[in-house]
Structure 1
């Protein structure tokens, strides 16, 4: 009898625990759904970025193709294009054969879309715990990366866009690379931008993750910037693009809340120091019924609605990417994000 009574108590405790957890989940879903219902009031901006495929620098294009690219950029009010120009080799260089048409590309964009800034998009998998490609802790490698950036500026790019991953909030080598590259770009009157993962939800949890989880493997310490690290990055660059996509949330309201939360938090944190681009997807994520361009743009606008005041620097979205964006999605982007031509928002 005692044993059966103990089993009943365990089952009863398990039942109440399950009911409590399910109740919290239901409240979370219901709260997000209720929050999501009012349409956003804020309009988008005319300061926007686009990640572009490597073929633009690596393969020949006709004059008509360059004109079509310029028309797309102007129609969608894209101010900055991150043309993939790498990847960077393990020694910090990029073989010249990979970007043999970069100079022609820059000349064409500057001719047909004046005012649009071209940036050389350089990145690689950061070596962590012996895994990865490039070791940014190596001073010689960092010097070569900066020299590579100088080569691309010589080819006519208006800036350098770094996307090294993963970057953890104790990565002093990455900050040192940004500092040296900023010295280069400022001396040339050019820009430095960087792509970063979405910031942490709770900064205080990072020491726990670091102590309990490895930096590699399926269950790893997530490489998310803390507030303090994001401020350090902002002091060393001109633009920050937050890779807000790949949220893997099951409903539109939860995905939209994710985009809104990160938009508000990032703009409040560094929007007075640098231009901020919130990354929005046009590819097909795993949960594409919940995360898509429409949801992302609405979420970003809701985040802007929640700001106490607009940031001092320009801000907008970064569209990922040109090779996955269909004409219908560009039309949706213009309809739901761009302000009317007479308005000037985020400039």
Structure 2
């Protein structure tokens, strides 16, 4: 860029002209620094923009590649026979044990479930207190429900769905690191089984991958349920869609949404039944969500022992919020994803199913899609 103030033409135009030219020379000399400073600032801005672009590309390119892989994962046809194995489940709300539901509701539920593959009902019967205890007043109609379901739906098992928010992101919540808390949860499970439930289903979250206290709790709980010939089942976090993703996400957000595949397998080996919460995936399109579910199904199948029932969650609810887009996370997309993952990994596995979340938010379209895509 040229200088902004020259020294004139160089011609001698008398004393006045000389003074004026001198003033111009001084002004030009002073102005020379300003463009130089402007140039440095512009160079800094350019460098900053280039660095920001590089960082964006560093973050976006792996994400873009992963999304393309999910879309490809949604292609192809599921294998013949990848339908219900009569090992399905559904999460039921608290209204079934607090007095809001009656005999007519059980009869309607029996009609709804007739001809499906649903074998287990996870009935919300808590939540646990922060110290691990469970007030009996939380499920006053449990005995009635268990008896009514056993009469109306022979062979269907009623499990107590227990959970609490873990104190992993705030001072409040249940702390598995306290031995007294884990002991209280074991006692609460004995209480649930004494009430007549066929099993205990735990949904404790958010839970960090690798949590040894959770594994210790499951070992102790399984001793109790086995002695009572009852089931121990858990709702499980999703598995790393990319290797080590749980560590990266946890570092950036301090929110433990994913588990490593190895940790998922450690949990699966300690229970009778594990249900993957394969929804709230942050996927914007049905094809990407279905591909994600196919991937999750394969990852879970690879590490779940044959002795453990594996269920993949279906989104029987409709919301739009961070992490969940209702138009993308649909039952048809999830069912197709489950069938594709099952086809590619272990198509003949018998103890495999889907779990429907949740009864009070389900629509007729959800039930129709489940029957048409999975039960048929």
Same fold per TM (> 0.5)?
A: yes
Give the Cα–Cα distance (whole angstroms) in 2 for the partners of residues 239 and 295 of structure 1: 24
1:143 partnered with 2:183: yes
Q: Which residue of 2 aligns with 1:44?
A: 83
Q: Deviations over 1:278-332 (max 9, x none)?
A: 1110111321221111111111111112115533x50111100011112232122
Cα deviation per residue 1:204-248 (whole Å; 9 max; x = unaligned)? Answer: 3555556x44xxxxx224242222222221221100011010012
Which residue does the alignment assign to 1:294? 332
State the alpha-carbon separation in 2 of the partners of residues 285 and 33 from structure 1: 23
Q: Distance in 2 between matches of 1:128 and 1:15?
A: 32
Query: 2 CA distance for matches of 1:194 and 1:21?
Result: 33
CA distance in 1, matches of 2:131, 2:107: 36
> How do 1:76-155 residues align onto structure 2 when only pairs under 5 Å count?
76-128=116-168, 131-155=171-195
8 Å Cα contact 1:245-1:280 kept in structure 2:
yes
- Asked if 1:324 is matched to 2:358, the reply is no
Q: Which residue of 2 aligns with 1:58?
A: 98
Change (3 A) 1:96 1:12: closer
1:229-273 deviation line (CA, Å, top 9, x unaligned): 222212211000110100121111111111000001101211523
Q: Tell me which of 171, 174, 194 is aligned to 2:214.
A: 174
Q: Which residue of 1 aligns with 2:233?
A: 193
1:338 equivalent to 2:372? Answer no
| Gap change, CA 1:95 and 1:38, over 3 Å in 2 | same
Residues 134 and 288 (structure 1 numbering): CA distance in 2 closer, same or farther, change over 3 Å?
A: same
Q: CA RMSD in A?
A: 2.9
TM-score by length of 1: 0.85
The answer on whether the counterparts of 2:207 and 2:256 sit within 8 Å (CA) in structure 1 is no
Number of aligned positions between the proteins? 332
Q: TM-score, normalised by structure 2?
A: 0.79
* Greater Rg over alpha carbons, structure: 2
SS of equivalent residue, structure 2 residue 76: coil
